[in-house]
Amino acid sequence: MMDSGGSISATIFNEGVDRFFPLLEVGNLYLISRATIKSRTGNRRFNSIKHDCEMTLNNSSVVVLFDEPDDSIPMQDMNAFKTIAEIESAGDGEMIDMVGIVYNVGEVIEVPSRKDGTILMKRNVTLLDDTGASIDLTLWGETAKNFAVDGGTVLFIKNVKVSEFSGKSLTASRNTRIELEPAVPRVGELKNWFESQNEGLRIHSLSRSGGSGPSPWKNIKQGKEEAVGQEKAVFFRTLATIMFIKHDENAPLYYLACPVEGCNKKVTENGQNWDCTKCGKTYPNYNARYVLSLRISDSSLSDWATAFSDSGVTILNRDANQVKQMRDRGDPELEYIFEKAVYSRFVMTLKAHEEPYNDEQRVKITVQAAERPNYVAESTALLEKIAALNNSQ
């Protein structure tokens, strides 16, 4: 709840739940009396509201809907919302409020729950703001399925969890509230900033570790040529089409990895269990991770590349554990999954690295990341380039 002085959390107990729940609605004004105010207990990191006290409503409390508007009460406590750059200093597991522009919307994928194997729907959304930083937001369940938001839309997100796995990222839960472009000045500020940017924008990504910003645009031919004779790998982005994915019965599609997040070490079978030499432990299960061999093509040439876990999930729209299960039982739908992926286009971040092969040096291509193209952003960038060429003449 919020008034002109800030926000406070309220808890309803016992009979009060039946009395007040049908009455309470987001965005409405209420007169509240006979509530109990007490000092907050527990770790405040795990609640985005930072007030020193909390409110309790019980059967003796009074809640009355207030019909008259009150301009002194804002719809959003702007001081509570963090910028994306500020999230970098937030702790693992901390609950925060934040504002961001939708920069990229990933596809819905199905992943098995590690707890009981239940199939869950998952979608990743990349958010950006005028600090020049970006962060990935993970949506689950019906929220992931029904998320139909275009790039450039401003989201106000309350009570979202910060994770430190693979850099910083955000995870929504059923207690997370997402509001699209409320009537506050901050929305206009962000949209104006976003519309003023061009393809030269450098983004400091908090997610996927490192966060040095996106790799430069090159075609495959340029990337491979730059890698020749270099000790360090060349990273670049290109818009590529998948021409073919090896998936016959002898082609490796995945390897069996340690189930601990962030480990990814290949495990060895030990009876009914699996040994991880990196962790020095034995586990009752494993986590399948992609190692796909695929032919990709852009405007310059076609070449073979290897795609690992996250890239493989994006390309096939399936978790590697699901693909393993389908392959083990000879599911005919597996062929359709690969057919559907062929001729799909992705913005790929590629790594070109020279290495020895059969007594000679060759440049190997690895897919570091794959995203569905943002055609709106591409068209805008192309129009700006055309305008710049016209102005230079």
> Domains in the chain, start-ordered, CATH in brackets?
2-66 (2.40.50.140), 78-205 (2.40.50.140), 220-253+291-381 (2.40.50.140)
Beta carbons within 10 angstroms of residue 256's beta carbon: 18
pLDDT tens by residue, 357-371 = 888 889 999 998 888
Please give the pLDDT value at position 239.
92
Cβ atoms of 102 and 152 within 8 Å: the answer is yes
Asked whether the CA dihedral 236, 241, 243, 249 is positive or negative, the reply is positive
Please give the pLDDT value at position 137.
94
Of 344, 291, 317, nearest to 106 (Cα)? 317
Average pLDDT (332-336) is: 95
pLDDT tens by residue, 238-259 = 999 999 999 999 999 999 999 8
Cβ atoms of 100 and 160 within 8 Å: the answer is no
Cα distance between residue 346 and residue 215, in whole Å: 15
pLDDT tens by residue, 159-194 = 999 987 667 899 999 889 999 998 888 999 999 988
* Element (DSSP H or E) covering residue 142: helix 141-146
Please give the pLDDT value at position 211.
39
The mean pLDDT value of the chain amounts to: 84
CA distances from 279 to 3, 271, 334 (A): 51, 18, 33
pLDDT tens by residue, 46-97 = 566 767 788 888 888 888 887 777 666 666 666 778 999 899 888 888 889 9
Cα distance between residue 338 and residue 292, in whole Å: 11
Question: For the residues of 96-133, what is the DSSP string, one character each?
Answer: EEEEEEEEEEPPPEEEE-TTT--EEEEEEEEEE-TTSE
